Structure formats: C-alpha cells, structure tokens
Structure 1
C-alpha cells in the first residue's frame, strides 16, 4: 500500500528561537484550538471552533491559504499529519475523529464510538492505526483500513491528550496524572502524579523525553529512559489560558514552547531550565496552541480570538 511505504524524515540539527513576527492574520471565523506543521515544513494546518481545518502554505514569510478540510459537525480540538504529510487526522467536539487525504476536502473516514468529545487523535508508528483520547475516560485504537475500533482502554479519568510509540500509549488526565499503557495488554504500567490538570502532552522527536503542561502553570519534562527523572519549568507571568493549552518541544528537543493567558509565547531552554525568551504583543487573547516547523525555522501561535501569528528567528 502506498501509505505503508517508508518515508524518510529530515532531522533538525538546531532550531532557531523566534525573535519577530512575520505575518499576523485572522485565520478563522472563531477561536483556533489547534495548529500543526506537516513533515514538509512548508504546510500548516489550523483547526477552529468554526468546525473547519484550514491549510496554509508558508512562503516568503507569509501564510497563504491553500484550502479547507470540511466535515466536522462541531469544533476541532486537535490536528496531526502523518509521516508522509499527505494525510490528516483531527479530533472533534462532535465525539468523533476525522481522517482526510489532502487531495480531497471531504473526510475519507469518520471514526465514531466515543460518548463525549474527542480531545486528541494521533497516528501510531504504524500508519494503519490511530489512537484517540476522550472526555469519556477512554482511549481507543482504530484500524484505518477497516474504519473500526480494535481496542478500548478504560483510562480512569477525563483524558486531555495522548502520545504514542509502537506499543506504548501515554495519556494525560484531569485527575492530575500521566498514565503509561501497554497497548498490547491494555494495562497501565506506570502513573506519574502532577500538581494540576494535564492540558497537553508532547514527545520529543527521538522519543526519549515526554513533555506535559498542566494547570499549576508549569511544564514538566520526563526522561523516558529514567522515569524518575523530571524537570519542572515555570516563568513569572506564564499561565495556562484553558484546560487544553498545548505545549511543544522544538524539533531538535532543545527548547519548549507554550502560549500563555497573557497573549505571549514563552520559550524555555531544556538544558539550562531557564526561560529563553518571551514574545508578547501580537495576541490580544489567550494563546491556545503553538507549532514549530520541522526545519526549526518557524513557529506559529494561535489564539481563542481567531488570530494566527507566524514567527521566525531570522
């Protein structure tokens, strides 16, 4: 199958810390909840409360609208591209996840079975499968070829986000815990307690570190090779603006980025533990999500008042 072919992915050797805004625009009709770059680095997707996903080409320091992916009955909560950059999975408030190929604006599949909103949808390492997390306290694994749920894991609490590798699924929860699951046995292998509701998770490109953001206004990095090793990142002024504020690693794993309720982006240096920079003034409302291009060149931030900002380190 075409989608099963091995796809080489470029490695970012050194991400640039953004210093200035190149382009500011009202990208949606309502607030924007999610943003993600494809592996090609020049294609961006944003998902909003207006039920649409918009595709953007990054050219000459600007975002150029390339089209819209329709089909959701309610707002979009998360977006992810597959490794090929040709397929998109998104989670929705309408209790479903939707799957598109970029050559068609209509969804190829709609995955239904959750009883409450779907908060996260991620491709597994095998491109045949997708993992979803939901407010209904379950994580589901789906076979895209059969368009069917092949496993449901009861995860004990409202699931705000998921990340996954081949046989491990990590879920973040409102009961202030991160849980690790062996997807082959549907069993919980570890719990990591935090001090606040988990709003998002991210995994580094080399799959060695896990990032969480939580409502105690902190980010934490867990070394997955030594699970007892955790580093906490805070900054004066940083505050999660909602229960789904998304924080990310830079593509080289050297930095962490998150948007704040004060409309600024905060970027920390992973090695030093210190705040590297704060980027204010471009957002007048709380930033919901940020994305860092795989080349390390661009950062995009999106907010609850429909604004998107393209940043660069040049």
Structure 2
C-alpha cells in the first residue's frame, strides 16, 4: 500500500497536464484588451458560455491576490488552503455503527479531522470524536423540526451550520445543543447552507432561491431568484456556484448578485464539490456520472467518471474530492463506496459489504487519513487504508 501511495504521489504532477476525454468546445479568440472598468461593465450584458472576459472574471474570483485589503484577509481566514500532501486510499472499515434513529443525509469532518458531524432524517445533528480509528459520540444538537439535509463546520471558529427540511438553516456553537441562530425565510426545504465572506451564510432551496444572510443580525440581506430547484452550493471568495435540477450549474458574483456563467451539466445535479486549489469543480448527477470540470480554461474541459455498478441513489447523493485532489469518492445505491483516480480516470477501488442500503453521502477528512460514508438505513462507516 505504501508503494502504491508513492506511485500516486509521483503521478500527481502528471495529472496537472492530463488530456481530458470530454470538452465543451473551443472558445472564440478574445478581442483586444480594453480598460478594466469598461470590461467589467460589459461583463454583465451577457452570460455567454464562451466569453473570454467572463472566463477571466470567474478565474479572478477564485484566484484573488491575497493580503491587499481587510476583506482579502478575511477571505484568507475563512477559506484556508489545504495542507494534505497525499490522501490515503481507504481499503477497510475500522468502525461501523448505527449513528441515527433514521436515515442519515449528511456527513462532514471539521478542519482538524478530529471531529465529525452527521445529520439525519431524525432531525438531529450529532457530533463524533474521531480517535484511534473509531467514532465516539460527543453531543447531539437539537432544534431542527424536520430532517437535516446538509452540514458544514465554520472554518473560523467552533460552530456548525445545518440546512433542514423545515425551511430553515441553523447555527450552533459546538458546546451548546441549542441553536445560536435560526435563519428562516425560505418557502420550501433548504437543501444547502454554506459559510460565506464577512460573517455571511448562503443557502439554497427547493423554492428556487439562493439567499444571503447576515449572521450578526440573523436576517436575510439578499434574495436571488434562480430558474430551478437548487440542490447544492459552493462558496469561495465572492463567487457562488449553484447546482440545479434543470441540469445546469450557475456561477454568481455576489458583488453584482447576478449570474455570470451558466454551464450545462450532464443530468439533474445532486451535489457539487471543489478541489483544494479551487481549479476543478466536481458535479454528481442522476445519470450515474461524476464530472470534473476544469475552471481554468476557456472551454471548461471536463472528464466523466463512471463505473459498472455505480448508481446515484437519490436526488441528494453527495460526492467529494479528496483533500489532495487526486481522488473522487461517491456512494452508490448498491451500498458500496466507489473511488476514482483523477490522473487515470479509472476506478481505483470499490468498498462493498458494509452498507445495506443506498449511500447518501461521503466525507474525506482534510488530513487525508479517513473516509466516512453514511446511508439511508442509519449506518455510518469509518474507512482507512490499514
């Protein structure tokens, strides 16, 4: 296994220049440069998928220079660069437990990889200490009146955020089982809740809106109407990426609060994830395919990952990128975890037998050491390489 991991590390650089197997077409050549203000003004006249100015602007949202202002310092603190050099490929289950009273919909590690959160149909958010290859229950966070759909730890402090079927998003301190903030205003279930810049939270909902919230005032400060059910969100800097049931992925600049790019997906989008370097976007769709989209180029080149037996089990199945960017992991309707190698495009391993129902979500620890999978029959499984 160590030899295998070493080979992966050596192959990692080759992955940067790997030729993709699917592309969305070539972009037209950019016209001569114009003053910055005029370029930004023209940017919002169109959301053309091939406009070089839009592509440049989107890349700028992901690759802003650091240390130039107070806001950029806040951004650096909120979105730290990952430190995992090499993720371990899991091969066996270390701990299997019935973690909730009903099905589990969401799972997430914190930034230190020492704490895990799970959210279930039983309305509970549970915290688990990750120690010596096992999960030990620490606390249960109450407050949601219906099932939990999404979980995220605050990278700036001891807080956890959850989205709920009860049309709200809730924020807890890790040492208090009572919600510190409850964000209400959506008219249907909240499917995604993410931390944004400057003490903001961004939520997406089945009500076809994306909302920005001020945590200090516990109020909604912006409502963005979207064309379709929003299934998942990615927030990074001033950029929001939303996945939708109409088979589209949309990119938003929060400063203008307007869609600046619309990308065709390959089916109803169930989840999104972004690579540690913010250069690649992962989408999981109901057509049983994962796609890795290169955000750096003008044509948004993409690679499709499939495997015999892999089936996306629900409209909210969540797939992830490993913290070193070398692997993709997703759970299947057959109860197995599938892991693909980004460099080769091939299925690296399949982890079967520990789940008796469809896997709803997986999470890879930021340290690269563990993978946790959860399913619709209450079970959580902790995986590792040895």
Q: Within the alignment, does 1:167 sit opposite 2:238 as a pair? A: yes
Q: Within the alignment, does 1:311 sit opposite 2:383 as a pair? A: yes
Cα deviation for residue 220 of structure 1 reads 0.6
Q: Is the 8 A contact 2:288 2:311 kept in 1?
A: yes
**For 1:115-160, what per-residue CA distance to the aligned partner results, in whole angstroms no more than 9, with x for missing partners?**
0000000011x25011100000010111101111111111110000
2:280 matched to which residue of 1? 209
Cα deviation for residue 184 of structure 1 reads 1.4
2:173 matched to which residue of 1? 101
Alignment of 1:242-257 (within 5 A): 242-257=314-329
In 2, distance between residues paired with 1:9 and 1:181? 22
2:154 matched to which residue of 1? 82
Alignment of 1:75-154 (within 5 A): 75-84=147-156, 86-124=158-196, 126=197, 128-154=199-225
2:39 matched to which residue of 1? none
Cα deviation for residue 188 of structure 1 reads 1.1
In 2, distance between residues paired with 1:228 and 1:202? 16
Label 1:9 to 1:209 Cα distance change in 2 as closer, same or farther (>3 A): closer
Alignment of 1:1-314 (within 5 A): 6=77, 11-84=83-156, 86-124=158-196, 126=197, 128-226=199-297, 227-314=299-386
> Which has the larger helix fraction?
2
In 1, distance between residues paired with 2:81 and 2:308? 36
Match of 2:139, SS state, is: strand
Q: Which has the larger radius of gyration?
A: 2
> Which has the larger strand fraction?
1
Label 1:233 to 1:10 Cα distance change in 2 as closer, same or farther (>3 A): closer
Structure 1 unaligned segments of length 5 or more: list them: none
Q: Is the 8 A contact 1:9 1:83 kept in 2?
A: no
Cα deviation for residue 223 of structure 1 reads 1.0
In 1, distance between residues paired with 2:83 and 2:214? 29
Task: Report the TM-score when normalising by structure 2.
Answer: 0.79
In 1, distance between residues paired with 2:166 and 2:379? 23
Label 1:301 to 1:127 Cα distance change in 2 as closer, same or farther (>3 A): farther
In 1, distance between residues paired with 2:261 and 2:133? 43
Q: Is the 8 A contact 2:81 2:276 kept in 1?
A: no
Q: Is the 8 A contact 1:180 1:191 kept in 2?
A: yes
Cα deviation for residue 166 of structure 1 reads 1.4
